[in-house]
Amino acid sequence: MERKIYLENTPLEKAINMFFEKAEGYIKYRKTEKINSQDSLGRMTASPVFAHLSSPHFHAAAMDGIAVKAEKTFKATELNPVRLKKGVDYVEVDTGNPLPEGFNAVIMIEDVVSVDNETVEIIQPAVPYQHVRPIGEDIVATELILPTNHKIRPWDLAALLAAGIDFLEVYKKVEVGIIPTGVELVPAGTVPEIGQIIEFNSHFFAALVKEWGGIPHSYDIVPDEYEVLKKTVEKALSENDFVIINAGSSAGRKDYTSKLISEMGELLIHGIATKPGKPAILGFIQNKPVIGVPGYPVSAYFVMDFFVKPLIAKLNFQQLPYAKKIEAVISRRVVSSLKSEDFIPVKLGKVKEKIVATPINKGAGVIMSLVRADGVMCIPQHIEGIEAGEKIKVELWKSLESIENTVVCIGSHDPLIDIIGDLLSSHYSLFSLSSAHVGSMGGIMALKRGECHAAGIHLLDAETGQYNIPYIKRYLKDNEVLLFHLVERIQGFLVQKGNPLNIKNFADLIRPEVTFINRQKGSGTRLLLDYKLKESGIDSKKIIGYNREEFTHLAVAAEVKAGSAATGLGIMSAAKAMGLDFVPVCSEHYDIAILKEYMNLESVKAFIEIIRSREFKEKAEGLGGYNTEKAGILYYEG
Amino acid sequence: MERKIYLENTPLEKAINMFFEKAEGYIKYRKTEKINSQDSLGRMTASPVFAHLSSPHFHAAAMDGIAVKAEKTFKATELNPVRLKKGVDYVEVDTGNPLPEGFNAVIMIEDVVSVDNETVEIIQPAVPYQHVRPIGEDIVATELILPTNHKIRPWDLAALLAAGIDFLEVYKKVEVGIIPTGVELVPAGTVPEIGQIIEFNSHFFAALVKEWGGIPHSYDIVPDEYEVLKKTVEKALSENDFVIINAGSSAGRKDYTSKLISEMGELLIHGIATKPGKPAILGFIQNKPVIGVPGYPVSAYFVMDFFVKPLIAKLNFQQLPYAKKIEAVISRRVVSSLKSEDFIPVKLGKVKEKIVATPINKGAGVIMSLVRADGVMCIPQHIEGIEAGEKIKVELWKSLESIENTVVCIGSHDPLIDIIGDLLSSHYSLFSLSSAHVGSMGGIMALKRGECHAAGIHLLDAETGQYNIPYIKRYLKDNEVLLFHLVERIQGFLVQKGNPLNIKNFADLIRPEVTFINRQKGSGTRLLLDYKLKESGIDSKKIIGYNREEFTHLAVAAEVKAGSAATGLGIMSAAKAMGLDFVPVCSEHYDIAILKEYMNLESVKAFIEIIRSREFKEKAEGLGGYNTEKAGILYYEG
């Protein structure tokens, strides 16, 4: 076993400086092209643009009316109107018409009295050149229309055409080669087998490159073979301004990227002090930048953001738009490494006049953490972590307005929450739902800390056998809380089709051949399990897998589906969704708790309306395992 | 003569409400289409999207290392390492590899000691499922990936592909028909004859529609014939979501648009209480919106902004981005009509910690006023005007950062100022120059009021015969001013090629056949003229055209070129640019005055560097009529 194990740990800022200092020489010599002005929207001028024609290029009527010779009107007064003869003393003109030869002023139609078909009367003299658009009023031939390095907007394009400029010189758009590598990859659109992974990163990168103003060119997937990769890199370099090699950037056995860059050109950096993003590779071949981007999509995103985004901007001679940042309160403690600068996607919500940021640090492989993120926070290298309640700066990924219009619902996981969110945003385009699955107790604590508007909870009180109310009384006694029914739902064992191990009740869980997958502490389902185990006098230590935790019903179902656990406790819709069988155990109350003070928010009102709607009830019943009879009924105020 | 003369004067807000209330019925039924996920960047989901596949869809190694059976490692300690046999106890795995059947944990390569080719040693036990990416860690099949009405970002596209979603339902992009009308129009790319105008509006509108997220379809220019227009409108309606008819919207003789809408459908509004934009037409044909947009480009822009922009957003189910507004101090008095809401493009600059807005109200026909604008201010209908120094809200068209990096140079016009601006932005991509031509005195007063950094001036003192210094001493005595040489430039008479009227000196200006075009009061050239007339004992009243004023040398040259004046006083470069002859009269000092306090700004330093550069001097000399020997030399501090 021989592998290169250790990467460098270059601080991000240093890496950026080294990279762009070296890239400067290449950036300077940008290619230009002549394009039709009609196609120039969004392009950057590469040289100053001067007008070819004046606009207007003749004296033109600026009003609808009559063109006159001003000197013939000088004597007109209300008492002594002047009569003008058509064709001799006046000519009818519309706005934009050229002033006929020998005429030098325009009288508005409103000030003209028609006498007969050939004669009009006026009662005021015309000043020479009144209501005339003089030649060059807008543009004078030879004047500067646009300077160098100017991004062409719609009105610039209009001015170019008005000035008779049919072609102009712009910078060529940056072309970026994207090479996906890895034997395990299959193209998007293929159904992957075990061990195969859908290659989506090249599409992800291409979309980013497009958004950042470049033209992406993706190449076929390169298996992990040095010579094939080398040929592809050579081709991509000849066809693009710079090249991105995806994956092959960590220190695994078949990771050739850094070796290849070293041999073909110069390897500048391999390994930066960020998390995620550490295995980034920066180098140059034939003076062109070559960037090795890690395979995990969240790592990949940040490496793209750190290096590819500013590189495209520089090559396009455009300023990077300043990232919009806001101050937010962090909702839970985040531990950070002293070895790296940490970049963490966060969800944002506005609750009680403060913006609350909830970190989504699920690891570099979870693309959904970007999908669910509303922004990104950064923890500098020398800081060990941030405590809950501390203020942090967050780079915004959506508008502050849309964050203010978001209902934040934190608590137990149920697919119904997603359905409510979808109905909310499809019926109220202003509003959206942001949900986080932290278990029922997590939801109650989030309500208490003012970090969410609503919490989905199903907490069974072991002493009273009552749902939710005892917990609200205990933990939210200082708040005015409204409790709404959402559904009664059936909990049961998720098992393989046909229930091959014949799992029927809690006692079956301690059979040696039965492996279990559990939910996390603080979830209602975990409480239910512990309540039932205690009731049946079963020792949880005897359950194989009791300590393996998942955060959602669907994740539990997926584990059972994959065979890594024989069963788990969960809801029927999850079993149905994953094609599993379901052994009902009991039903429970799943409620929505809302602080009373939030009920005057339009977004929260809409949220309740959705829960009460026929459409929601139908969709919920359609999933199976839910009774929605009381959905939306307020049944407790505390 | 029969014409419809009066338009309605519907307040903008009322017009918007009426229009969108009526449009609502059409907006509701948006068409959708199924597209490939790979092409979905920026599109809006029309239904919720659920995962087809889990990701990963198998348990995968999360690290490079070895897959092991955890139970075989439990006894490993530093003192008692455990040896593992290849193929039996361990399998080498790279990140992403599937966990081999029967194995349930991964040990990082860093923690593995190689003994021989077939044996490794470990000194720590592995916990089951450590460094394993469990099935569905990122995405669980059937979970909601994106809700309805969600705009797809690069990471959303990646998640769609990772979840095995190859196609999805999105709203069809809004298609907008654009019909240019008018016999005077010729297509862009044609050289227009007298009376002809280049049709650039359809390209302008198409660019706006693209920027706002629609697909434009432009039709051929329709001459002002009712039946032809009707046929084109019918075709455009059948091919688009809504239709824009350009021009034909005022009350001229051949303006058929409102009549046509009335006859084909319903005319809702003709005439709104805004300036510019008054002749807007809003109607519906076959329930589809039809918008008549005025021909003047600035009017057109605002009508597009008021109605077309929000219509596209609504049809795309997207929120309009909130316009970014800032507070600015207005630099001069603006008079406004009580009959209308006024929208005025402004130039912005940051001087002395305040943002100064200078109105560019040159009329609805001047597209360059949009090109030069940094933002737009609005004066409500019930306000008669705004005094200089008052605070106003300005909608920003560029970033605040770029405004802060702009050198504001106000004063006398010279094409050299444009050349300096172009060199500044091409050599310093951060910086730009904003210039306004208000004459030398205007520049001095702007310096005094703290509205510009620099002023270009050439003011001849009638008593001393000295340039500039006497004016600075008189008007800027409370400021520390630096005066830099720019050029010595030659002033003279601009005349037709061959000088047919043989104009040689100031005495020739009072000859009856010599018509004159003057510069505005307060300009250095006007002062020079008056000085020379007085010197020669010539009565300005005898000069035909003495009261016709233009604001730039090029505009004077254009008038002479068009034959509407025989001559004007101006600079050689203007004559050369317009292909005129030039009769030198005298040379003068054109200087740059800068308040000392601005010299510590990087942007102002760069501005001075440019003036001193060889490149600037070469370009200036190339224009003819300039001596740049002393350019950039500081010669007076006051």
pLDDT in tens, B85-101: 999 999 999 888 899 98
Other Cβ atoms closer than 10 A to A387:
9
Q: Are B345 and B466 in the same domain?
A: no
d(CA B536, CA B586) in angstroms, rounded, equals 14
B583 or B623: which leads in pLDDT: B583
Measured between beta carbons, the chain A residues lying within 8 angstroms of B1 are 92, 109, 112, 114, 117, 120
Q: Considering chain B, what is the average pLDDT of its residues?
A: 92
Judged by CB atoms closer than 8 Å, whether chains meet at A371 and B145 is answered as: yes
Q: Which pLDDT belongs to residue A135? A: 83
Among B371, B431, B553, which would you mutate to test the A interface (most chain A Cβ atoms within 10 Å of its Cβ)?
A: B371
Residue B552 · residue B479 · CB < 8 Å: no
Judged by CB atoms closer than 8 Å, whether chains meet at A162 and B129 is answered as: no
Of B192, B295, B422, the CB nearest to A148: B422
Regions of chain A with pLDDT less than 50: 1-3, 5, 251
- pLDDT of B3 strictly over 70: no
Looking at the structure of chain A, the number of domains it has is 5
Q: Are A504 and A587 in the same domain?
A: yes
Judged by CB atoms closer than 8 Å, whether chains meet at B147 and A422 is answered as: yes
Please report which confidence band the pLDDT of residue B184 belongs to, taking 50, 70 and 90 as the band edges. Answer: confident
Tens digits of residue pLDDT in B46-70: 999 999 999 999 888 988 899 999 8
Q: Among A138, A202, A145, which Cα is nearest to A168's? A: A145
Q: Are A608 and A505 in the same domain?
A: yes
Judged by CB atoms closer than 8 Å, whether chains meet at B120 and A1 is answered as: yes
CATH number of the domain within which A610 lies: 3.40.190.290
Judged by CB atoms closer than 8 Å, whether chains meet at A164 and B295 is answered as: no
Q: Are B460 and B550 in the same domain?
A: yes
Q: Which pLDDT belongs to residue B253? A: 52
Q: Spell out the residues 6+ positions from residue A87 whose beta carbon is closer than 8 angstroms to its own.
A: none
- Angle at which helices B257-264 and B226-239 pack, to 10 degrees? 60
Q: Is residue A544 assigned to a domain?
A: yes
Of B58, B92, B430, the CB nearest to A562: B58
Q: Are A465 and A561 in the same domain?
A: yes
Q: Spell out the residues 6+ positions from residue B123 whose beta carbon is closer than 8 angstroms to its own.
A: B76, B77, B78, B81, B82, B111, B113
Q: Is residue A102 assigned to a domain?
A: yes
Please report which confidence band the pLDDT of residue B252 belongs to, taking 50, 70 and 90 as the band edges. Answer: low
Tens digits of residue pLDDT in B267-285: 999 999 999 999 999 999 9
What does each C-alpha distance from B388 to B330, B361, B520, B629 come to in angstroms?
A: 5, 15, 21, 39
CATH number of the domain within which B370 lies: 2.40.340.10
Q: Provide the β-strand partners of residue B187.
A: B199
Phi, psi dihedral angles at B417 (to 5 degrees):
-60, -40
Q: Among B52, B24, B43, B531, which Cα is nearest to B310's? A: B24
Take residue A206 and report the two structure tokens written for it: 């291409």
Q: Are A157 and A305 in the same domain?
A: no
Judged by CB atoms closer than 8 Å, whether chains meet at A158 and B191 is answered as: no
Q: Which pLDDT belongs to residue B251? A: 46
Q: Which pLDDT belongs to residue A75? A: 92
Of B48, B53, B419, the CB nearest to A422: B48
SS3 B116: strand
Of A48, A135, A295, the CB nearest to B558: A135
Q: Is residue B410 assigned to a domain?
A: no
Of A58, A120, A367, the CB nearest to B138: A367
d(CA A376, CA A395) in angstroms, rounded, equals 5
Rounded to the nearest angstrom, the minimum Cα separation between B479 and chain A is: 32
Q: Spell out the residues 6+ positions from residue B242 whose beta carbon is closer than 8 angstroms to its own.
A: B174, B176, B177, B288, B289, B290, B291, B311, B315
Q: Which pLDDT belongs to residue A251? A: 45
Other Cβ atoms closer than 10 A to B476:
18
What is the pTM for the complete model shown? 0.88
Please report which confidence band the pLDDT of residue B145 belongs to, taking 50, 70 and 90 as the band edges. Answer: very high
Side by side, which strands form the sheet with B215-218? Answer: B215-218, B175-180, B242-246, B288-293, B281-285, B266-270
Q: Are A457 and A517 in the same domain?
A: yes
Measured between beta carbons, the chain A residues lying within 8 angstroms of B562 are 58-59, 135
Phi, psi dihedral angles at A623 (to 5 degrees):
-70, -25
Judged by CB atoms closer than 8 Å, whether chains meet at A301 and B155 is answered as: yes
Label residues B126-161 b or e (16+ Cβ within 10 Å = b): bebbbbbbbbbbbbbbbbbbbbbbbbbbbbbbbbbb
Measured between beta carbons, the chain B residues lying within 8 angstroms of A87 are none
Q: Which pLDDT belongs to residue A478? A: 93
Judged by CB atoms closer than 8 Å, whether chains meet at B189 and A182 is answered as: no
Q: Are A210 and A95 in the same domain?
A: no
Measured between beta carbons, the chain A residues lying within 8 angstroms of B139 are 367-368
Among A69, A139, A142, A301, which would you mutate to test the B interface (most chain B Cβ atoms within 10 Å of its Cβ)?
A: A142
Residue A91 lies in domain: 60-133
Q: Spell out the residues 6+ positions from residue A160 whose beta carbon is closer than 8 angstroms to its own.
A: A37, A40, A49, A145, A146, A152, A168
Label residues B584-604 b or e (16+ Cβ within 10 Å = b): ebeebbbbbbbbeebeebebb
d(CA B248, CA B378) in angstroms, rounded, equals 26
Measured between beta carbons, the chain B residues lying within 8 angstroms of A120 are 1
Residue A398 · residue A405 · CB < 8 Å: no
Q: Provide the β-strand partners of residue B285.
A: B288
Rounded to the nearest angstrom, the minimum Cα separation between A190 and chain B is: 8
Q: Are A126 and A144 in the same domain?
A: no
Judged by CB atoms closer than 8 Å, whether chains meet at A155 and B253 is answered as: no
Mean pLDDT, rounded, for B138-149: 91
B436 or B4: which leads in pLDDT: B436
Q: Are A242 and A337 in the same domain?
A: no
Where does a domain end: B283, B315, B347? B315
Judged by CB atoms closer than 8 Å, whether chains meet at A184 and B53 is answered as: no
Rounded to the nearest angstrom, the minimum Cα separation between B399 and chain A is: 8
Rounded to the nearest angstrom, the minimum Cα separation between A24 and chain B is: 14
d(CA A7, CA A299) in angstroms, rounded, equals 15
Q: Which pLDDT belongs to residue A404? A: 93
Q: Is residue A429 assigned to a domain?
A: no
Among A371, A427, A437, A516, which would you mutate to test the B interface (most chain B Cβ atoms within 10 Å of its Cβ)?
A: A371
Q: Is residue B118 assigned to a domain?
A: yes
Residue A144 · residue A68 · CB < 8 Å: no
Judged by CB atoms closer than 8 Å, whether chains meet at A155 and B211 is answered as: no
Judged by CB atoms closer than 8 Å, whether chains meet at A415 and B144 is answered as: yes
Measured between beta carbons, the chain B residues lying within 8 angstroms of A134 are 550, 555, 558-559, 564
CATH number of the domain within which B40 lies: 3.90.105.10
ipTM of the complex: 0.89
Please report which confidence band the pLDDT of residue B186 belongs to, taking 50, 70 and 90 as the band edges. Answer: very high
CATH number of the domain within which A252 lies: 3.40.980.10
Q: Which pLDDT belongs to residue A2? A: 42
Residue A474 burial by Cβ neighbours in a 10 Å radius (0-12, 13-18, 19+): exposed
Among A6, A43, A57, A109, which would you mutate to test the B interface (most chain B Cβ atoms within 10 Å of its Cβ)?
A: A57
Q: Is residue A3 assigned to a domain?
A: no
- Helix then strand count (H, E) for chain A reads 17, 38
Q: Are B435 and B573 in the same domain?
A: yes
Q: Is residue B4 assigned to a domain?
A: no
d(CA A528, CA A544) in angstroms, rounded, equals 18
Q: Are A475 and A390 in the same domain?
A: no
Q: Which pLDDT belongs to residue B6? A: 60
Tens digits of residue pLDDT in B538-588: 999 999 999 988 888 888 998 898 888 999 999 998 898 888 999 999 899
CATH number of the domain within which A117 lies: 2.170.190.11
Residue B449 · residue B442 · CB < 8 Å: no
Q: Percent of chain A beyond pLDDT 70?
A: 98
Q: Is residue B74 assigned to a domain?
A: yes
CA-based nearest residue in chain B for residue A188: B161
Of B54, B366, B561, the CB nearest to A137: B366
d(CA A455, CA A471) in angstroms, rounded, equals 13
Query: Longest C-alpha distance within chain B, in Å?
Result: 117
Of A147, A161, A366, the CB nearest to B422: A147
d(CA A340, CA A350) in angstroms, rounded, equals 30
Alpha helices in B550-627 (DSSP H): 553-562, 572-577, 602-612, 614-623
d(CA B279, CA B295) in angstroms, rounded, equals 9
Judged by CB atoms closer than 8 Å, whether chains meet at A64 and B401 is answered as: no
Where does a domain end: B353, B378, B404? B404
Q: Which pLDDT belongs to residue A228? A: 93
Measured between beta carbons, the chain A residues lying within 8 angstroms of B577 are 141-143
Judged by CB atoms closer than 8 Å, whether chains meet at A207 and B37 is answered as: no
Q: What is the DSSP string of B457-483?
A: E--B-TTT--BSHHHHHHH-TTS-EEE
Measured between beta carbons, the chain B residues lying within 8 angstroms of A97 are 184, 195
Measured between beta carbons, the chain A residues lying within 8 angstroms of B362 are 137
